[in-house]
Chains A and B, each alone.
Chain A
Amino acid sequence: MGILLFAGFLLLLFLGTPIAVAIGVPAFLVIWIGQLGVPVISPNFFAGIAKFPLLAIPFFILAGFILERCGISQRIVHFANILVGRRRGGLAIVAIGVCVFFGGVSGSGPADSAAIGAILIPAMYAQGYSRSYSAALIAAAGSTAIIVPPSIALIIYGAITNTSVPALFAAGAIPGFLAGLSLLIPAIWIARKKGYGSEQAGEEEEQEGLWKAFKDAFWGILAPIIILGGLYGGIFTPTEAAVIAVFYSLLLGFVIYRSLTFATLWQILVDAAEASAIVMLIVAFAGLFSWAGSTVGILDKLAKLVIGFSGNQWVAMLLLNVIIFIGGMLIDAVSILYIFLPIFMPVIQHFGWNPIWFGVIMTLNLAVGQFTPPVAVNLYVTTQLADIRLEKTFKAVWPMVLTMLIALIIVVAFPSLSLFVPHLFGL
């Protein structure tokens, strides 16, 4: 039965079935054929979605869409560009900084890559950066959105493992920053070597422009501070912080920048409803999948296999990370969390690892998977924006995969990098 579950999933996945369906079909079949009781399916599906912490997901998605379309990303890009843009590889630095920053508003890697890529890829191309390098860089930098708080992946990790989401958000801050930092090295190195980016463009506007650009971007820069400040301070729950973010961005769009109309707001609501549903459908079917898996006992068996593989916790850690990395290359973070966490949780307990620390490790690793070829959801988004084939980016993206993996090793080696901030806020 367990084999049917996993083999059925992999077969449907590779044939190109929507991921939610590829997860749902084998779960249904196993519950039906294995006579686990089909009446459980519908209540399980319903209860998988109807959870209060998960409400934060549609609200964060909505807030991200509003901020993106009220022109805040252009303003922040403009400000960052004046600050550091005018040098060799300057736009690459801007791209990384803005993606990490915007990750502090949106919670999803592909969404971050799409929002920033749409603005920056044409700009980078105009300044002589190659399309493949631009697409690779934005995909890599956008992946930090799932580790930089707020993060949909961390919300779901918290819901599955019963860990505090504000504590996870606080723990993700330094590693998320580190991940962005790790991308600077290959980004600048390649840009220098290939001579990307010009130094002379618009020197004279630089002086007077900086203050104006800062004032223009100020309200947007404030957004993550409000969201995360309220969360870390323990004032708001994640769902409340998310809905405050929605109304703050409406305030920006309608009152401060006056860049939104009711027609665009309507389109934003339509798109956000759809984007939330895509995530939540995976949540619902993946919950059913892991219920079926644990009922037939396959998940327990796999967990024992991992523990029995070696008594050494670092070998186990390496093994889990290899599994997460390969999984993350193939499918989205939400599915991985639901499918693998039930296997990993006994292992985490067995070795006495801090679940918050492990959540950060897992999410950071999943972030790397999001832009590692050949599947790479983020690269898929950015190569479409850059209008090139995915294969063209392989050479440019490998150094970035490598340095972010080094950042992952550092996060594994020094647990206090993750645990320091939650301790600081007493979370």
Chain B
Amino acid sequence: MTKVRWLAEHLEEVLGAFLLGAMACLAFANVVARYVLHLPLAFTEELEVNGLVWLTLFGTSAAFRRGRHLRMLFVQDRMPEKVRRWLNFFLSLVAVALFASLGYLGYRQLLDERFLEITSESLNAPQWIYTLCIPVGCAMVSFRILQAAINDIKGKG
């Protein structure tokens, strides 16, 4: 049970770390293939480049959970504690709105791509498989922002 709970809290970290490791191995295999075996593995580029979008959304989610995103705190540091807490709660809602609308638009794009049966350039894979990361990733990110915001308000309130 504790393991399941741990995974629920760290899911995006596990996925992101795995993905980054896999991308590095794939890219290295490509280098070896190109310079040692003289066999360019062109298709690996497509996987790596699309993996980067997945990686960005997983990592973004983890960074929101841990509060690691770059921000300018110069003004906030000079505000009273109470104002600052509610301001941060409001800003979290703004961020959720941003990611929720991006996720919805990504879902619409996915539907279009399925309808038009668009395939990727070098692997001829259905493009929507790659696009899937936007709705899925944004749902994850929105959830983590809300979770962090609620913890913040409850924890210190």
Binding site for B on A (CB under 8 A): 12-21, 24-25, 28, 38-39, 41-43, 45-46, 49-52, 54-55, 58-59, 62, 236, 239-240, 243-244, 246-247, 266, 269-270, 272-278, 280-282, 284, 330-332, 374-375, 377
Contact = CB atoms under 8 A, between A and B. Distances in A.
Given A18-B69, A42-B105, 6 more contacts: A17-B71, A28-B102, A45-B106, A45-B134, A247-B24, A280-B55
A55 B109 contact: no
B49 A58 contact: no
A43 B109 contact: yes
A46 B131 contact: yes
A270 B58 CA distance: 10
B43 to A, nearest CB: 13
Contacts of B59: 273-278, 280-281
A274 B94 contact: no
B98 interface: yes
A59 B95 contact: no
Nearest to B112: A39
Interface of B: 13, 16-21, 23-24, 27-28, 30-31, 45, 48-50, 52-53, 55-60, 62-64, 66, 68-76, 87-88, 91, 94-95, 97-98, 101-102, 105-106, 108-109, 130-131, 134
A16 B70 contact: no
A270 B17 contact: yes
Contact of B72 (A14, A20, A54): A14
- Chain B binding site: helix, strand, loop or mixed by DSSP? helix
A24 B17 contact: no
B76 A21 contact: no
B98 A280 contact: no
B16 A274 contact: yes
Nearest to A17: B91
A55 B98 CA distance: 25
10 smallest A-B Cβ distances: which pairs? Answer: A277-B59, A273-B16, A18-B69, A269-B17, A16-B76, A280-B56, A42-B105, A243-B27, A42-B106, A42-B109
A19 B55 contact: no
Contacts of A59: 24, 27
A142 B56 CA distance: 25
Nearest to A242: B27
Contacts of B106: 42, 45-46
A78 B21 CA distance: 31
A54 B71 CA distance: 22
A239 B109 contact: no
A391 B27 CA distance: 44
B108 A21 contact: no
